[in-house]
Amino acid sequence: MLLNSFSRWFSMEKMELVKKYVEELINAPINLVGYRDFNEAFHYLYMDSVLAVKPEDLGNNFLDVGTGGGVPGVFLLIEFGIHGFLIDSVCKKIDYVKNLCERLGLSNVELMCVRAEELKDKGMFRERFDSAVSRAVSRIATVLELTAPYVKVGGKVLLYKGPGYNEELGQAVNAMKELGVKLAEIRKYSILGKDRFLVIFEKMSPTPEKYPRKVGIPEKRPIR
């Protein structure tokens, strides 16, 4: 893991972009990330986004659900040079990130202000992505419903979690079955001494058309 990460970080151009992005986030006029200190933001946002991810996890195009200030989506597309489709339900966040990506010359990104439950009505998004990622959006059963319908069979869903992931997984067994995913791997890593877990699911079969359900239902009534 260390060697792999080291060689990835060797590109100065990438690192300059990452640093600029972090600087802009912590100085943004709207509260996007909750950090003001560069070092903290660099670790808790950038390092957390990329450290446990392998290029083969994501494929060529991924969806980031609830991207907020572009986390982890923008860092992943810089790191791996792949295409990211980033969505959030708060339009001012999406507008800000869109503008910032344009200013930094990032072209491998698309942003849309939409709730994940409604993305399916906005075009051909069902089972379109090689992978989906999500960080700090909701509990596992809920987030699986918001991501899995948009991932191709054979693709992956990657969720960034803290130590509470185990209980959430236990409550998500039926959701996994219903949505056509299975738990593939859990990667443990550490950011500034804090335990973190990348919980990875593989999509095994098509997700029934009724998912995701209407706005708010995946959160209020997770699949049990």
- Residue ranges for the binding site for S-adenosyl-L-methionine? 66, 116-117, 135
Residue number with CB closer to ligand SAM (74 or 106):
74
Cα separation, 87 vs 94, in Å, equals 7
Binding residue numbers: 66, 116-117, 135
Tokens at 218, concatenated: 């995946």
Q: How far is CA 119 from the centre of its chain?
A: 15
Instruction: State the residues that interact with ligand SAM by CB under 6 A.
Output: 33, 65-69, 71, 87-90, 93, 115-117, 135-137, 146
Using the minimum distance from each CB to ligand SAM, give the nearer residue, 182 or 220: 220
CA-nearest of 4, 5, 54, 6 to 187 is 54
What is the C-alpha to C-alpha distance for residues 115 and 88, in angstroms, rounded to an integer?
6
Min separation Cβ 153 and ligand SAM, Å: 23
177 vs 213 by CB, closer to ligand SAM = 213
Question: Residue 39, exposed/middle/buried by CB under 10 A (0-12, 13-18, 19+)?
Answer: exposed
Q: How far is the CB of 181 from ligand SAM (least distance, A)?
A: 18
CB of 30 vs ligand SAM, minimal distance in Å = 11
